[in-house]
Amino acid sequence: MTEEPPFVLESPSPEEVLRKVAPYLHGTPRYPVVIAGMCTARYEGRASSKAGPAVRIAICKPDGTFILHNAMEKREPTNWNPAPSVQRLRTDGGNLVLVSKRLDVPETVIVTFEDVHAAMVLPRSVGDSRASNAPSAFTISRTHEEMVRYILENPSRIDPSLLPPEGPPERHTEVECGAGIADVVLRDEKGRLVVIEVKRARADINAAAQLKRYVDAFREERGESVRGILVAPDVTKGCEKYLRKHGLEWRRLRPEDVERAEEGPTLDDFLG
């Protein structure tokens, strides 16, 4: 390894990225790698898709998570692979090629950079430029993942009819369908499939529309009755109206409620 993280390469050639960045992406331990530039993207898996030329940011995390974002628009990624996945760099016809391949299912994202604006390698821990297992000095509490875990562990607190997960919790989170990936999928007392979309901030009509797409997809693919529940601290009036119109539900859950539940009861709880 020629340089020690963190470092940034400005307008590097594909060969320079391959020489200086690839060892941190391919080696053990792996480091966080970010590459930005003009690129195209191709997805191959259960379906196929292509994304034309645009300036995008590719993020490769040590756990295998891969995210490709359009640098100019939208919050949602152009493509992504969850862990467990692996990423590899190579050159092809004078271009830098980044391949992200899932290890659990046959899905691959191929990103071809025609022009690399910047490539960087980040340290694995705060305050240490070398590989380290020391805990980070920065932690995020009350995350989306914590809310999902709370729902799995306390489904009846979201809705009394919800049944506990059957089997490993992983079977009920990030469940894929034709419309995307649902946060949580459970069953209720009547045996109906319940698709749950979780938002850690106030949800708008886009969140409601996203939930409806998931519900419609599961209903069509599985041929059974499906409920949809949006879990969020609050919803906009437009969102609430959309949910009612399409027979969807909303349950309130605030990130601070999750944190408070994990801390245990307080004196105020006993005093009512």
Report the CATH architecture of 144-271: 3-Layer(aba) Sandwich (3.40)
Please give the full DSSP string across the chain, using - where no structure is assigned.
Answer: --S-SSEEEES--HHHHHHHTHHHHHSSS---EEEEEEEEEEEESSSEEEEEEEEEEEEE-TTS-EEEEESSS-SS-SEEEPSSEEEEEEEETTEEEEEEEESSSS-EEEEEEEEEEEEEE--SBTTBSS---SPPS----S-HHHHHHHHHH-HHHH-TTBPPPSS-GGGGEEEEETTEEEEEEEEBTTS-EEEEEE-SS-B-HHHHHHHHHHHHHHHHHH-S-EEEEEEES-B-HHHHHHHHHTT-EEEE--HHHHHHHHH---HHHHH-
Q: pLDDT digit string (tens) for 245-263? A: 999 999 999 877 776 555 4
What is the model's pLDDT at position 146?
87
2: confidence class by pLDDT, cuts 50, 70, 90? low
187: confidence class by pLDDT, cuts 50, 70, 90? very high
CATH number belonging to domain 7-121: 2.70.180.20
28: confidence class by pLDDT, cuts 50, 70, 90? confident
Q: Where are the domains of the chain?
A: 7-121, 144-271
Tell me the mean pLDDT in the region 62-87. Answer: 89
What is the model's pLDDT at position 201?
87
Q: What percent of the chain has pLDDT over 90?
A: 62
10: confidence class by pLDDT, cuts 50, 70, 90? very high
For the cut 90, the answer to whether the pLDDT of residue 23 exceeds it is yes
What is the model's pLDDT at position 200?
85
